[in-house]
Structure 1
Amino acid sequence: MKKILFFGDSLTAGYGLRDPRTTSLPALIQQRIDIDKLPYQVINAGQSGDTTSGGLLRIDGYLDQAIDVLVLELGANDILRGIPPQTTSTNLQAIINKVRSRHPNVKMLLLGMELPGWIPGAFAGAFRSVFAQVAMKNDMAFVPFMLEGVAGIRHLNLPDGLHPTADGYKIIADRVWPVLATLLGHQ
């Protein structure tokens, strides 16, 4: 059985969901894999509050196991904490480098994050480009804004306005699955 490692923060972990084991993004992707009878097991390695710096420290704990596909979702907390976009970019690249050094044939998908469009300035613009640049540099499959169609829509988010509800994750899974399925060679 091949392994898909979803490595991220609370958006991967399924923070605030009644049952993340069945309603988080990794769980919904596993359900689609099972329906299509694909030989993949999804591992949810989401940790609430994680930044790209934290992820860089944490990734080593997953490198001894087989990783056929990495779905990398980190950076939202960097944005919220005002971490410089260049630091986020450097940390994402270092995570990718570590994974590829141990698993040279790994396939990778980057789930991007954006600041809301109403936030102006160079900081917002720089963050919008970080994820696209990292994906392009590493020839990764890419979802530019994983929360597209969910962010800012009250009934699709928990009361904190930051984390999706189970219904919100269904929309996210609908956006992520076609990109991941293509990466897996499944149409």
Structure 2
Amino acid sequence: MGRTDERGDAVRPDMVRRTLDRHGGRLAALAFLIVSLAPMSLLSPAPSRAADRPVRIVALGDSLTAGYGLPADAAFPVVLERVLKAKGQAVAVANAGVSGDTATGGLDRIDWSVPDGTDGVILELGANDMLRGTDPAMTEAALEAIITRLKGRGIPVLLAGMRAPPNLGPDYVRRFDAIYPALAARHGLVLYPFFLDGIAGDRGLNLADGLHPTRAGVERVVAGIVPTVEDFLQRLRKGP
């Protein structure tokens, strides 16, 4: 049967030729554009929304992370996030510090303290172990278990180290202080050797107990650790 147009009239060959003569150039150009762009749309996926979201960090620690004795806005994770954002870093730092927590306590709560979707963890534990005179081997074993659990979930760790005071004796100091460099070397972690660097023993930067930083002390801690955290963020963005 012969073809008809939309009004039902027969479509004659000469009508088709005239239509192509009038519009052929534009139709050909349109067809070329469609063919040219199709592979680009297939080979270039739409930008991922995940790439635009902040890097999600959990600060897992004890009272030094929690902000003991300070207003909420002066706690380490809050100050760290503020400083990083001022430096142009898209980051969100969650406070998973629990005052009085030991390395073993951190291990016991690791699954609910570090939710799915976390990009990295700043691990700051061990100070309470040291204050209680816990065998450094037990502290190291608990920290290693935390690191191993996080690595199993694909979550990198920045390890914030702690150091023992001289009054605990040279043998204890040697064994305790060796924990953090050994773990970092064994697991290929980013290491900040001493979390309280620059404020330990400074009465003007610690509360009356001599153990916990003041607001100014937290600012000093953050200023010291920020370059290491920036290196950590760079590693996170590069991926495995």
Whether TM exceeds 0.5 here: the answer is yes
Q: Show the counterpart of 1:178.
A: 227
Give me the TM-score of the superposition, normalised by structure 2.
0.72
1:87 alignment partner, SS class: helix
1:101 aligns with 2:152: yes
From 41, 59, 66, the counterpart of 1:13: 66
Q: Show the counterpart of 1:87.
A: 138
1:71 aligns with 2:122: yes
Deviation at 1:184, TM superposition (A): 1.1
Higher mean Cα deviation, 119-128 or 33-42?
Answer: 33-42
Query: Which whole-Å CA distance do the structure 2 matches of 1:64 and 1:181 have between them?
Result: 22
Amino acid across the alignment from 1:170: E
Query: Which whole-Å CA distance do the structure 2 matches of 1:130 and 1:50 have between them?
Result: 18
Higher mean Cα deviation, 81-90 or 118-127?
Answer: 118-127
Deviation at 1:118, TM superposition (A): 5.0
Query: Which whole-Å CA distance do the structure 1 matches of 2:135 and 2:216 have between them?
Result: 32
1:184 alignment partner, SS class: helix
Amino acid across the alignment from 1:95: I
Higher relative contact order (CA 8 A, sep 6+): 1
Root-mean-square deviation (CA, aligned residues, Å) is 1.4
Query: Which whole-Å CA distance do the structure 2 matches of 1:168 and 1:118 have between them?
Result: 23
Question: Which structure 2 residues correspond to residues 32-47 of structure 1 after superposition, within 5 A?
Answer: 32-47=83-98
Question: Which structure 2 residues correspond to residues 103-182 of structure 1 after superposition, within 5 A?
Answer: 104=154, 106-117=155-166, 119-182=168-231
Query: Which whole-Å CA distance do the structure 2 matches of 1:85 and 1:98 have between them?
Result: 20
What is the percentage of aligned positions where both structures have the same residue?
38
Amino acid across the alignment from 1:39: A
1:31 aligns with 2:86: no
Stretches of structure 2 lacking an aligned partner (at least 5 in a row): 1-52, 236-240
Deviation at 1:39, TM superposition (A): 2.5
- For each residue in 1:104-147, what CA deviation from the matched residue of structure 2 results, as whole angstroms up to 9, or x when unmatched? 2x332111111124543211110010111111111111111111
Query: Which whole-Å CA distance do the structure 1 matches of 2:219 and 2:113 have between them?
Result: 27
Deviation at 1:64, TM superposition (A): 3.9
- For each residue in 1:143-174, what CA deviation from the matched residue of structure 2 results, as whole angstroms up to 9, or x when unmatched? 11111110111111000010010111111101
Count the aligned residue pairs: 182
